[in-house]
Structure 1
Amino acid sequence: MGGDELVAVYSADGEVVGSATRRRMRAEGLWHAASAILVRSGNRVFVHRRTDDKDVFPGVHDCWAGGVVGAGETPWDCAERELAEELGITGVPLVPLFTTSADVDGTRIHLYAYEAWWDGEVVIQESEIASGGWMDLDELRVRLADPAWPFVPDGRIAIEEFFRRELDR
């Protein structure tokens, strides 16, 4: 997506307060929202490496499909759109998991996390995802414990919240 694309701008409290170009949102560190979908198959999740030309956190791993909520778009609609665009997955129910907020390296974000169960083919969007595959949740925990394994900071916050909530069940 280009820098001139309009995205929803949020308050620190999580309310939509307007819109701005993606470029302005990044440059000024404006609060925004993103949808994040954890794609699961049994005890596995789909983990991918972002392309080297992403505008934030290029070339690092993530276990969440998703992206920034566009102007006039709901987080739910964003989640459905991003799941289809990034992984070619459509027509699956999304299960809301949680919402969390973070300020990571000047990126101020409200993250709407969802879960989707999928056993079909994953077709990655090559312009955003360099590679990907299924990983057991236990292996993901081990890799996340290694500070040398490059992982998206807000994705790390979200998966740690997911693991915490799973332990509380």
Structure 2
Amino acid sequence: MAFADRLRPGAAEAVAAFQKQGKEVHLISGDVAGAVGDLAGRLGIVQWQAEALPADKAALIAELAAQGRKVLMVGDGLNDTAALASAHASISPASALDAARAASDIVLLGTDLSPVAEAVRVAVKARRRIKENFAISLLYNVVAVPIAIVGLATPLAAALAMSLSSITVSLNALRLK
């Protein structure tokens, strides 16, 4: 009789999406090497570690962060909480233990992991929009404030320019969808 761990729904899709985006995927587990190696093989994960203690998981995240990498940790167990808390961002499914959910930045509503890669993709786009909006605001202030200080702008023109700046930033943010 052979036993094998079932993949969490969406795990294969999430790993494939990360790899397609050029992201490095690690699997670190407290389970025995045979089970972890089999799981890594089914998911196409090259870098994996078995029989890891909670401190080992947190140490891997610290090591990757020291190399300048931004680490996303996905976990669901009590032994994942230190790593979830120390990662740049962390995600747990709704079925995770309370401690893991409390340590996570995001809790998925279901058990399906396929939204994880989409969440990262949206976060990258959102960060880009935020930077663009800061640039738009900075440009507005560099141009508008000196004009207002010298008295070349009427209150109506200043109000319209400020409204236009706010509308521009809002419309740029809406491009996220």
Q: Kindly indicate whether structure 1 or structure 2 has the higher relative contact order, using CA contacts under 8 Å at least 6 residues apart.
A: 1
Which structure carries more strand by proportion? Answer: 1
- Normalised to the residue count of structure 2, the TM-score between the two structures is 0.25
- Normalised to the residue count of structure 1, the TM-score between the two structures is 0.26
